[in-house]
Amino acid sequence: MTDAAPTTHAGFIAIVGKPNVGKSTLLNALLGVKVAPTSPRPQTTRKGVRGIATSDTTQLVFVDTPGLHKPKDALGKYMNSEVQSALADVDAVIWVVDLRHPPTDEDQLVARTIRELPKPLTLVGNKLDAAKYPDEAIRLYTALLEGRTGETTVVSLSAQNDPARVMQLRESLAALLPESPFFFPDSGASDQPREVWAAEIIREEAMKKLRDELPYAVATRVTDWTEREDGLQRIEAEIVVEKQAHKGMVIGAGGKQLGQIGQAARKQLEVFLNRKVYLGIQVIVIPGWREDQEALRELGYE
């Protein structure tokens, strides 16, 4: 006679919030490994990124979403649609807010979007370590949910340097999951194809280096990935911009800017892959790609 298999619980949890409140940082902290791009700039995340945390009997599938905002172009509309799609298909929701500041119009937009959801909601006040008046801030954010009938939990933490509270949050979220078999094998932290993941790392480094509005007119894609017999990963990629003038800005004088972007991205890739990496990057121009539906599809925004 064999022992019965243990009961497992699994489910999907959306991470939502306005741009630049630390959603991707929280996801990476919950997983204990980096799967989502981060930078000090808003709108670093453009696609829903799924991160998977698996233990013996539970599997949490986190969906990191783009920052909900008032869109200015077709790309922005796509990003908002990613949020709506995520919310329609999850078992619970995390709303991340920045405790350093009172609610903005964008926070109110998020609150209106999630207030009527019948799913369990956890309000996470992030950047607690840098907040002067965290209690007052969390009171203001909680007030935006007035009238909500679903289960609501409030947590304050710093996703970047508060691992104990992050793990407590993860445990409380696991308790919300329904009884279910696992959705994914327990061997990985994300279901992203490696090409998408590598392209996002390159875009993250580009966003860190580029100034003003240019980062928002930049897309990235991997065009080829081969592995040599000696283990070297040879990756060819493109940085896509909208104007010829932008191309020169990305490349920089004597190719210095592009070299710095490539070097930083290569170092990240080598750490995650535990392999030597050759990274070749070309900069190409697709005029007005953020408003071009065909170009958006080619770049993976569909």
Is 255 labeled as ligand-binding? no
Three-state secondary structure call for residue 252: coil
Are 208 and 92 in the same domain? no
Render pLDDT for 69-97 as a digit per residue (tens, 0 to 9).
565 566 666 666 677 777 888 999 999 99
Number of domains in the chain: 2
Judge whether 230 is annotated as a binding position: no
In a domain, 51, yes or no: yes
What is the pLDDT, as a whole number, of residue 50? Answer: 76
Q: Which of 114, 139, 174 is the last residue of a domain?
A: 174
In this structure, the answer to whether residues 70 and 215 fall within a common structural domain is: no
Quick: pLDDT tens for 226-260. 999 898 999 999 999 999 989 998 999 999 999 99
Tell me, yes or no, whether 115 and 33 share the same domain: yes
Last residue of one domain, picked from the residues 174, 204, 239: 174
In a domain, 189, yes or no: no
22 carries a ligand binding annotation: yes
What average pLDDT score do residues 213-227 get? 84
Distant-in-sequence, close-in-space partners of 258: CB < 8 Å, separation ≥ 6: 239, 250, 251, 252, 281, 283
What's the whole-model pTM score?
0.69
Domain limit, last residue, from 115, 143, 174:
174
- The C-alpha atoms of residue 218 and residue 241 are separated, in whole angstroms, by 5
Residue 210 counted as an annotated binding residue: no
Question: What number is the average pLDDT over the span 26-31?
Answer: 91
Give pLDDT tens digits for 31-52. Answer: 887 665 554 544 444 455 678 8
- 20 marked as part of a ligand binding site: yes
Question: Is residue 185 situated within a structural domain?
Answer: no
> Does the residue 182 lie in any domain?
no
User: Are 171 and 155 within 8 A, CB to CB?
Assistant: no
Average pLDDT of the chain, as a whole number: 86
**Structural domain contains residue 2:** no
d(CA 224, CA 78): 26
Which DSSP string corresponds to 78-138? HHHHHHHHHHHT-SEEEEEEETTS---HHHHHHHHHHTT--S-EEEEEE-GGG-SSHHHHH
Q: 72 a known binding residue?
A: no
Type and span of the H or E element at 250: helix 244-251
Residue 181 lies in a domain: no
Cα separation, 40 vs 38, whole angstroms: 7
Look at residue 39 in the predicted model and tell me its pLDDT.
47
- d(C-alpha 10, C-alpha 295), whole Å: 36
19 labeled part of a ligand binding site: yes
Q: With CA atoms as reference, report the closest residue to 218 among 253, 265, 270, 254.
A: 265
Does 22 share its domain with 115?
A: yes
Minimum mean pLDDT among 1-10, 89-98, 161-170: which range? 1-10
* 129 annotated binding-site participant: yes
24 assigned ligand-binding residue: yes
CATH code for position 67: 3.40.50.300
Range 268-287 average pLDDT: 92
Residues 100 and 34 both lie in one domain? yes
Domain membership of residue 208 (yes or no) is yes
Residues 14 and 83 in one domain: yes
Is 113 annotated as contributing to ligand binding? no
Distance of CA 50 to the CA centre of its chain: 8
How many CA atoms does the CB half-sphere of 175 hold within 13 Å?
9
Say yes or no: 86 and 218 in one domain.
no
At residue 44, the pLDDT reads 46
23 marked ligand binding residue: yes
200 and 147 fall within a common domain: no
> Got the DSSP string for 174-197?
HTTPPB---SS-TT-SB---HHHH
Who has greater pLDDT, 282 or 42? Answer: 282
Structural domain span for residue 272: 194-298
Say whether 68 counts as a known binding-site residue: yes
Q: Is residue 18 annotated as involved in ligand binding? A: yes
pLDDT at 250: 92
Q: What angle do CA 183, 185, 187 make, to 5 degrees?
A: 140
Whether residue 137 contacts residue 123, with contact meaning beta carbons closer than 8 Å, is answered with: no
Those residues whose C-beta lies under 8 Å from the C-beta of residue 277, and which sit 6 or more positions away, are: 232, 233, 234, 235, 266, 269, 270
Helix (H, G, I), strand (E, B) or coil at 69: coil
**Was 66 annotated as part of a binding site?**
yes
Proportion of the chain above pLDDT 70, given as a percent: 84
Do 222 and 132 share a structural domain?
A: no
Q: What's the CA gap between 195 and 193, in Å, rounded?
A: 5
- Domain match, 152 and 97 both: yes
pLDDT band for position 136 (cuts 50, 70, 90):
very high
- Domain presence at residue 186: no
Residue with the bigger pLDDT between 217 and 253: it is 253
The CATH number for 202's domain is: 3.30.300.20
157 lies in the same domain as 204: no
